[in-house]
Structure 1
Amino acid sequence: MACEIKAWLVLSLVLMVACMQHSVLGNSQAVPCLFVFGDSLADSGNNNNLPTLSKANFLPYGIDFPTGPTGRYTNGLNPIDKLAQILGFEKFIPPFANLSGSDILKGVNYASGSAGIRQETGTNLGTNVNMGLQLQHHRTIVSQISTKLGGFHKAVNYLTQCLYYVYIGTNDYEQNYFLPDLFNTSRTYTPEQYAKVLTHQLSHYLKALHHVGARKTVVVSLDRLGCIPKVFVNGSCIEKQNAAAFLFNDQLKSLVDRFNKKTLKGSKFIFINSTAIIHDKSNGFKFTNAPCCTTNEGGNVFLMELHAKIGPSMCFGMEFILVKLQT
């Protein structure tokens, strides 16, 4: 996909949507529903009532959102909100944890802050909804859609028209592999082995999604993990973490290629390479090597004085600035 955009990596997904829209949907075609799987970059409230340090239902999160804090890890709209707008949805995709009155035929957001592919990932911060549990929640929704539409096969026929968005894996490194005092994965696997283990497990989840109707799936690579402000040290990226992300991305790209060529025929997988996007001041990003707000050990913002001093557009050239640095 020849879409070259320069932007801060953590915010890149919003900008890539424009490219993805042409690749997946064409200029005018729409999808009836959107289902989202991921971590805090997509979470819109699924962690609000969980016992975890990884939540965002308090100020300054939501300071520029019409209804205030919602559980989104931004000051305003998150990338999934932007995606929904671009695809023409009248309302934002609701979180699974708060579906009261929502039309599940339009889609559901299962993403959970601190979640990963592996079950234990992020549990150092508390409870989250890992990828396996997100898939279980989706099966529950598929069952409800089957009831609404008059049977499983009718539901699957409908669900084949939907768009599925999967961006997960960051926490399997930041809240697992690179925390050797808390998890044993770095002692059990080399970086090469770990990348294969993660993508192998993710492949089972993607196949399970395919079984219940997923035919248009966007899979997003990891960012440069060693360059995010949370781990940025003395003005330099941590290359060991970047290298681990590249290994995972190579395995993920190969997986997507296999799915498209033979394994899951009839499906279309779009691989978005987020590491091809370069953080740069030329796009209005005034600070590209530091967080806009101080965070605690869980990566959550706990000071809002900076927002009050500099305003909502000082740090980044887009409308949301308080993106959680630990996804």
Structure 2
Amino acid sequence: MNAVTLTTPIALIGAPTDVGAGARGASMGPEALRVAGLQPALESHGLSVIDRGNLSGPPNPWQPPQGGYRHLDEVVAWNRAVHDAIHAELAQGHLPILLGGDHCLAMGSISAVARHCRAVGKKLRVLWLDAHADFNTSTLTPSGNLHGMPVACLCGFGPDELVYLGGEGPALRPDQVRQIGIRSVDPGEKRFVHEQGLEVYDMRYIDEMGMRHTMEQALAGLDADTHLHVSFDVDFLDPEIAPGVGTTVPGGPTYREAQLCMEMIADTGRLGSLDIVELNPALDVRNRTALLAVDLVESLFGKSTLMREHQVRRR
């Protein structure tokens, strides 16, 4: 049985903050996604969608890092709010979509998903679609920006306030994460990723093996007892098609590669929760990136370009 059915209510939860980022503007991401028609787009596929509006939290104080972390108190406050909201939706049998905001918010959403999976006895798989590994620590990065640290914190390498958001911690083991589209990793961060054994499908791998093979590998082993969480950083996409992000990195997936990625995730029927983060309308062109994000999210929920009844797959 698929995780997503026409009767599974989808809950949109906005988290309008850029408190973990190095550039301002991601706080406007939730409204840009709404303006781009996310709710009616999903409803057009027969899905039931509830918009819970925006969470509230402290403003961005725009201060330098202290003790290796920038805006730690504010990041903790926002992630607690996200955790509680996501966990509440999962407890009701809903599929939550977090509208970010910067990628530090995934600490709250994934901590909530991990807590839910522990409670119901499900396995958890996280697909991290991003240009960056986000596996920095306070000793590896001089910026202290926490949007570069969420995967590390979720795996236990960070301040206790973030590692134990879900009551138990860490939320993740490295072997539960598959990173796709990576192409910008700091040298120290790269060593740390290798030490921890993260499974990374970087752009070199995608260039050599193709997106189809990449996704087959990343999705291998999913079964009916697996909750699939997708954390979609919009800078995953090539900036030629998605300019509205604060940390553009050339050489990302093309439109067709991204569509195939999303369609293959949809084919599993295991999607249980989603983050859409780092959309920065201040850097966009006529909301072009938000419209593309909505298009790709439609594909995550079943919109397909497949015309043939029986697709021929090469061995």
When normalised by structure 1's length, the TM-score is 0.39
Q: Which has the higher strand share?
A: 2
Instruction: Return the index of the structure with the highest Cα Rg.
Output: 1
